[in-house]
Amino acid sequence: MYCRFESGIHPRENVVDVVCTLKDHIESLDDHRQLLETVRSEMFHSEISHVSPVTTQLQNLEKSGI
Q: Is the full-model pTM beyond 0.75?
A: no
Domain ranges of the chain: 2-47
- Cα(32)–Cα(20) distance, integer angstroms: 18
Q: What percent of the chain has pLDDT over 90?
A: 32
What's the DSSP call for residue 33? H
pLDDT confidence of residue 12: 76
Q: How many CB atoms lie within 10 A of CB 30?
A: 10
